Amino acid sequence: MLKNLSIVDYLAQTASGDPVPGGGSSAALNAALAAALTEMVANLTIGRKNFQDVDAEMRAVAEKASSLRQKLLQDIDRDSDAYAQVLKAFQMPKATEAEKADRSRAVQEAFKQAALVPLGVARDALAIMDLGRAVISKGNPNAASDGAAGVLAARMAVRTAVYNVRINLGSLKDEAFKSELGHKVDQLEAEAERLERTILTQLKI
């Protein structure tokens, strides 16, 4: 499983000629890293005498970030698996009209799943950006740069995941599905841009 590879091995596999792991998995990895950084800042705040008034909030942030981190680790493999299903569908036989129809349906379903996985990653990365806003504004100021690193990693994850949704939508024939997901990623991207501006404007480093 990709999530169990060492950093060295993961980077080597990404750099190889294999199509996976690719941009979708990297979006999940960046989002998981963002969650870890956000969780770290919260944990550097929890239990400190000067931050007793936000202790409960920081504990909640740490718990949410931890849950998202674990989910996103799974998405590293889930995204690659979705792309593998696309490749598998394209390899189906197409000698007869029935085979062509079956292959076409399988390809379309595989592309839908390949779009849905990064859509979930984008949503989770946006949630991490919001958690990052909390740790930057209320958490231990000595770790503010770490909080900023988490926000920026999450921001990159949102954008990368959105691009992966869009490229998969381009191969779909279901116009209603394309329109629905296209609208959703437009909203996610706009909200991520707004959050980034708000958070970095408030950052005092």
Q: Look at residue 7 and tell me if it is in a domain.
A: no
Q: What is the rounded average pLDDT of the residues 108-112?
A: 97
d(CA 140, CA 133): 12
Predicted confidence band at 205 (pLDDT cuts at 50, 70, 90)?
confident
pLDDT in tens, 1-23: 999 999 999 999 999 988 888 99
Structural domain range at position 137: 21-202
Domain annotation covers residue 2: no
DSSP state of 5: S
In a domain, residue 5? The reply is no
Q: Is residue 144 part of a domain?
A: yes
Q: pTM of this prediction?
A: 0.94
CATH code at 168? Answer: 1.20.120.680
Distance set, CA 40 to CA 33, 36, 122, 203 (Å): 10, 6, 21, 17
- Quote the Cα angle for 145-150-156, to 5°: 125
Number of domains in the chain: 1
Q: Which residues, other chains included, contact 57 with Cβ-Cβ below 8 Å and sequence gap of 6+?
A: 134, 138
- Helices (H), strands (E): how many in the chain? 6, 0
Q: Which of 73, 74, 54 is nearest to 134 (CA)?
A: 54
Task: List Cβ neighbours of 128 (8 Å cut-off, separation of 6 or more).
Answer: 31, 34, 35, 38, 65, 68, 150, 151, 154, 157
Amino acid letter for position 15: A
Quick check: 125 and 150 in contact, CB under 8 A? no
- 109, part of any domain: yes
The verdict on residue 82 lying in a domain is yes
For the segment 163-178, the average pLDDT, to the nearest whole number, is 96
Q: Per the domain annotation, does 14 fall within a domain?
A: no
The CA distance from 27 to 50, in Å, is: 35
Task: Report yes or no on 113 lying in a domain.
Answer: yes
The string of pLDDT tens digits covering residues 52-77 is 999 999 999 999 999 999 999 999 99
Q: What is the pLDDT of residues 74-105, one digit of tens each?
A: 999 999 999 999 999 999 999 999 999 999 99
